[in-house]
Structure 1
């Protein structure tokens, strides 16, 4: 499915575009400290984290953003994060992001799965697989 390979430096301030990318229960990560805080919070609550490394200029990222937002509302037992690769360039590089969007699935801060590209059926499938591993009481809305 679609993904953007080149990193493009966007013009101007795109903070208003983050609103459409970080809807629902998606939490926008703007600093390494907020990333660490959210991972610690997820570990304490026993939540699996889904981190979307994305860019506002990326067409496939824009396409999957509303779906990602909807998933965050449907699955409150998971923590959905959004990292803009242009705003946190060094941090994104440390995760070896080669294309956007890239989704990482983290449990206790450790990567358990990964998806590159805006593939809605595959993203849904990976989330379902993670939910199937959780105790039933955690999956209740």
Structure 2
């Protein structure tokens, strides 16, 4: 397991090419604007879907390592919405979620946090996502 500490200043590079981001691929939506965050969260709420959010940075090695597992979970659990927030693109927004290290994963129901995982622990991410998906299925 690993994580990168987030500083208050912007560190590393910005990846403006969302389609080639090492942080999001497949069914994971890369969030680089507040408008896109609101859009995806509203869409999930309308559809009765729970959300898994990965706060990440393109310069963070553990974030890049866990990104493929996050993408695989998104493909497996289509009943959930998977989002990756670029902490450099949305630094103030990320600070409002009290992100101290990347990656940090939040599990949201109706826009509210129900669980959290800090660090690139693939096994724990899989376990929490499976439990979250099961809870989402039982609510239907």
TM-score (norm 1): 0.90
Structure 1 gap ranges (5+): none
Partner in structure 2 of residue 3 of structure 1 = 3
The alpha carbon displacement at 1:137 in A equals 9.5
Q: SS of the counterpart of 2:22?
A: helix
TM-score (structure 2 length as normaliser): 0.90
Count of matched residue pairs: 137
Deviation track 1:66-106 (CA, whole Å, cap 9, x = no partner) reads 11111111111110001110110000000000000000000
Cα displacement (A) at 1:55? 0.3
Partner of 1:105: 107
Q: Secondary structure of 2:89's partner?
A: coil
- Aligned equivalent of 1:37, options 36, 39, 52: 39
CA distance in 1, matches of 2:136, 2:95: 31
CA contact (8 A) 2:21 2:58 kept: no
Pairwise mapping of residues 90-129 of structure 1 onto structure 2 (< 5 A)? Answer: 90-129=92-131
Structure 2: which 5+ residue stretches go unaligned? none
Are 2:105 and 2:116, in contact at CA under 8 Å, matched by a contact in 1?
yes
* Partner Cα distance (1:117, 1:91) in 2: 19
Q: Which residue of 1 aligns with 2:91?
A: 89
Is residue 133 of structure 1 aligned with residue 112 of structure 2?
Answer: no
RMSD of aligned residue pairs (Cα, Å): 1.8
